Chain A
Amino acid sequence: MKNINHSHWILRKIVEDQSPEKTITLWPQIETRLASEGKIHPIETPIRDLKGKFSLKKAAYYTTIVLLLTVVGSLSLVPSVRAQVSDWITGQANVFSFFTPHSQVQVGLFSDGSLGFVPLSPMYLPKGDWVMVPDTYTEEVTKLKTLKLTYNKDNQFLILSEREILSDESLPIGEIIKVKNQPAVLFTGLSGEVDASIDLSDNGEVQPEPSGLVNLGPVQYSNGVWLIWQSGDIRLEILSNLTAKQVLKIANSMHPVEVLPAQMEIPEP
């Protein structure tokens, strides 16, 4: 006879006998419901930690470039070290080249290979001078490196996130549609606030701070669209205040970006 709390033991046994699984994991469903109800969007999650006093998020923009140049600059007086660093950068890093339609802007993002895939980028965007800021972060839930591309034109935005697919990962429950003949899930009628407004200079260019970061201001949206689908080994999501038709056209235009080897030439001191 064990000397335990008899009442608690009986109730615990009743629960355990009925529990279909020993472990209870509600978070994936809760996160999906939060997102589908427009209360949050998963791709915002890791960025929230960076939220500043004035509700501005700092998106990493060419941070890697700045860091690399800082390292190179600090070592540039030592020729042998300089050469080693130059070789290391050239050998390790690639540049993903993103081309933004209409505005004809080419944006490069250094990659050390940790993303695990070649990103896709839209070949179509609605007409207008769109600007784009790339960012990468580690998603807290999946622990996977995730690429986030924020496109902005006036008060219109499109946030595209891409990461590797988890094994046995399925799409959330929602309206099933097709993107390039593959199943996708579409949520419409979302509302909320997202940091997607990109500060521009007077001549219309993205203005990174000296640190290399770009301020993203808040955008209130209603009737938003959230599209989730998979392409090969990549899971993609789009959150936008464009129409569902436009978002689908953008999703169907996704194409792998150009990958170029990083070439760093370090000037003699």
Chain B
Amino acid sequence: MDEGKAIARLKKGDIAGLKTLVELFQTDAVQAAYLVTCDWSLAEDIVQTAFLRAFEKIKGFDETRPFRPWFLRMVVNDAIKVSMRQSRFVELNEDRDEEYTFALQKLAENQREPEDLLVQEELVLAMRKALFHLSPSQRAAIVMHYFLNLSTEDSANQLNCAPGTVRWRLSVARNRLRKSLDPFK
């Protein structure tokens, strides 16, 4: 069953349609939510809830539009909200600010994957640390742009903000990562 048929069946109340949509989009959704929340269990929970909301809202969904951006918008927005609630209780360490800059610069550069496995691992580790020190909104902007490969305009739609805001978020994140990446140059 393809996406269109699944949506049509779900609109008629057939949960087999929802099952198909879950199978089609759960991986992208959980991975994107994880990159925003930094918590795998939380990410799975957010995506489950998002699918339940999709089930409730599907009758108002415009079938001529693709389901993926519509659904991922809910997932990423939910992930931001949950992360922001949690971040109130986490003290940010300003000393690690440089890590942000490093990671975003690496993301912004369309370089090639290093062959050396050790270099790969170090890079991923540094990137992970840096990424997870960004604000949830900044992480969401990165996830939309670099992970889900959505355009700035699409990312803006996903995040319910103007494209300029997304560019600003990416720019801020890039600047912060650039500083922290200096030692690795």
Nearest-CB distance from A247 to chain B (Å)?
24
- CB closest chain-B residue, reference A10: B127
- CB closest chain-A residue, reference B147: A11
Of A20, A24, A141, which is within 8 A of B19 by CB? Answer: A141
Of A8, A26, A31, which is within 8 A of B146 by CB? Answer: A8
Contacts of A51 in B (CB 8 A): 12-13
B106/A10 in contact, CB under 8 A? yes
Of B15, B47, B108, B124, which is within 8 A of A31 by CB? Answer: B15
- CB closest chain-A residue, reference B129: A14
A14/B111 in contact, CB under 8 A? no
Q: Is B128 an interface residue (CB 8 A)?
A: yes
Nearest-CB distance from B57 to chain A (Å)?
12
Q: Indicate whether A26 sits within 8 Å of B112 (C-beta atoms), given known contacts A8-B146, A11-B143, A45-B16.
A: no
Q: Is A49 an interface residue (CB 8 A)?
A: yes
Complex CA gap A224/B26 in Å reads 31
Q: Indicate whether A26 sits within 8 Å of B40 (C-beta atoms), given known contacts A11-B143, A14-B124, A18-B34.
A: no
Q: Indicate whether A34 sits within 8 Å of B15 (C-beta atoms), given known contacts A1-B115, A13-B124, A26-B30.
A: yes
Q: Is B52 an interface residue (CB 8 A)?
A: yes
Give a binary string over B32-47; 1 marks a CB under 8 Å from any A CB, 0 the rest.
0011000010001001
Contacts of A54 in B (CB 8 A): none
Contacts of A27 in B (CB 8 A): 19, 22-23, 26
Nearest-CB distance from B174 to chain A (Å)?
11
Contacts of B143 in A (CB 8 A): 11
* A contact residues, range: 35 or more
Give a binary string over B112-134; 1 marks a CB under 8 Å from any A CB, 0 the rest.
11110000100110011001000
- CB closest chain-A residue, reference B128: A14
Q: Indicate whether A3 sits within 8 Å of B112 (C-beta atoms), given known contacts A13-B120, A140-B16.
A: yes
A30/B31 in contact, CB under 8 A? no
A26/B108 in contact, CB under 8 A? no
Nearest-CB distance from B97 to chain A (Å)?
19
A10/B124 in contact, CB under 8 A? yes
Contacts of A45 in B (CB 8 A): 14-16
B19/A15 in contact, CB under 8 A? no
B26/A8 in contact, CB under 8 A? no
Contacts of B13 in A (CB 8 A): 48, 51
B18/A30 in contact, CB under 8 A? yes
Q: Is B55 an interface residue (CB 8 A)?
A: yes
Complex CA gap A51/B111 in Å reads 55
A4/B128 in contact, CB under 8 A? no
Q: Indicate whether A14 sits within 8 Å of B19 (C-beta atoms), given known contacts A2-B112, A7-B108, A7-B146.
A: no
Give a binary string over A21-60; 1 marks a CB under 8 Å from any B CB, 0 the rest.
0001111011101100101100001001101000000000
Of A6, A24, A30, A140, which is within 8 A of B111 by CB? Answer: A6
Other A-B contacts than A11-B147, A31-B15, 13 sampled, CB-CB below 8 A, are A1-B112, A2-B112, A6-B106, A6-B112, A7-B106, A7-B110, A8-B146, A10-B123, A24-B27, A25-B26, A29-B48, A30-B51, A39-B56
Sorted from nearest, which 9 A-B pairs have the closest CB atoms?
A7-B146, A6-B111, A1-B112, A11-B147, A15-B31, A7-B107, A13-B124, A48-B14, A2-B113
Residues of B within 8 A of A (CB): 12-16, 18-19, 22-23, 26-27, 30-31, 34-35, 40, 44, 47-48, 51-52, 55-56, 106-115, 120, 123-124, 127-128, 131, 142-143, 146-147, 149
List 27 A–B pairs whose Cβ atoms lie within 8 Å, in order of A's numbering: A4-B112, A5-B110, A6-B106, A6-B111, A7-B106, A8-B146, A8-B147, A11-B35, A11-B107, A11-B131, A11-B146, A11-B147, A13-B124, A14-B35, A14-B124, A14-B127, A14-B128, A15-B31, A15-B35, A18-B40, A19-B31, A27-B22, A30-B52, A31-B15, A31-B19, A33-B52, A140-B19
